[in-house]
Amino acid sequence: MNRIFSFFAQYLSKVFGDNSPEVSTSHIKENPMEFKSKVCEFENYLSHMPLLEEHQKELSQIWSTLEPNSIITGRRTMRRLSEKSNHVYTLKKIKVGENEYYILHQPYSIKDQMNYHSDDDKKLEQVYATLTQSLSKTPYTGYFFELMNHGKFTFYYTSEIDAHWNSQKFEIKTCKDKGKYIPYYHNAYRAAIQCFYSDIKECIYGFYNDTHVTLKLFTYAQLIQIAKNRGWNIEHAKGMFHSNAEKIIKFIKENDHKMLNKTVEIRTKNNEMVFEIQD
């Protein structure tokens, strides 16, 4: 089941009408403060649990489709499991009705996230403004419901979607305009991972300077190739996810009998995972 909300289909139809890869160049709005900053979305959900867990009652129709003993998480955590960086995760076992599930999450500080995204989000808002001219009238965020199988375990998660048009999903990214209109390879790599976990085939990039935003459309395959040209292979990210997933599943199988209503802290370091059941 997909939880789909339309952001600006009517405007995208105008932008993509000629199927040109470089879709639009527009003056930046003089007063970007009139638009709701995307970073404010952090106020709409909790940082210490996946969206599916937080809104379990509201999403009961989705929960009724979940296989028991599956893993509930979010795209952000899935993406983190695909990286070599050191992170801390939480894992817990819960019971819903007669069924048991595992909740996997990578907690984060809302304050740190706001500081990290602050400058980029200001530019991202200008890209939205270029597309819609009316972002202030869009007070919600869209999410899709996804799943991925690993052996006999299923990972269920939600992924935030920047836009969709005629049922096609898009990521939206920003880069400084250096005249070439090609995203940095590391930016393309991260975008490709996001697209992979959301089953997104195209990404809109907004290349900005002080006065203009130039929009260009890239396919998922093009993002992969841009990253691959600099030695960043998305297959490594997929392999990293399955390696980490295997370690988590192994721990669950060995410790399932003592996990109910307990929180397990998982620390990654040097491609290793250390599990500790909290009292």
4-43 per-position pLDDT tens digit? 233 333 333 444 444 444 444 444 333 332 223 333 343 4
CA–CA gap between residue 1 and residue 25 (Å, rounded): 36
Asked if residue 184 belongs to a domain, the reply is no
Asked if residue 173 belongs to a domain, the reply is no
Range of the domain at 238: 29-164+234-277
Q: At what angle do helices 185-198 and 220-228 cross, to 10 degrees?
A: 140
Asked if residue 76 belongs to a domain, the reply is yes
C-alpha separations of 253 from 50, 89, 90, 102, 248 in Å? 22, 18, 16, 12, 9
The gap between the terminal CA atoms of the chain, to the nearest Å, is 37
Confidence of residue 45 (pLDDT cuts 50, 70, 90): very low
Q: Is the full-model pTM beyond 0.95?
A: no
Asked if residue 213 belongs to a domain, the reply is no
Asked if residue 102 belongs to a domain, the reply is yes
- How many structural domains is the chain composed of? 1
Asked if residue 197 belongs to a domain, the reply is no
Asked if residue 38 belongs to a domain, the reply is yes
Asked if residue 97 belongs to a domain, the reply is yes
The residues, any chain, with a CB within 8 Å of residue 101's CB and separated by 6 or more, are 66, 68, 69, 70, 71, 72, 93, 94, 95
Per-residue pLDDT reduced to its tens digit, 206-249: 888 877 778 889 999 999 999 999 999 999 999 999 999 999 99
Is the four-CA dihedral 215, 124, 195, 87 of positive or negative sign?
positive
Lowest mean pLDDT of 13-17, 100-104, 169-173, 206-210, name the range. Answer: 13-17
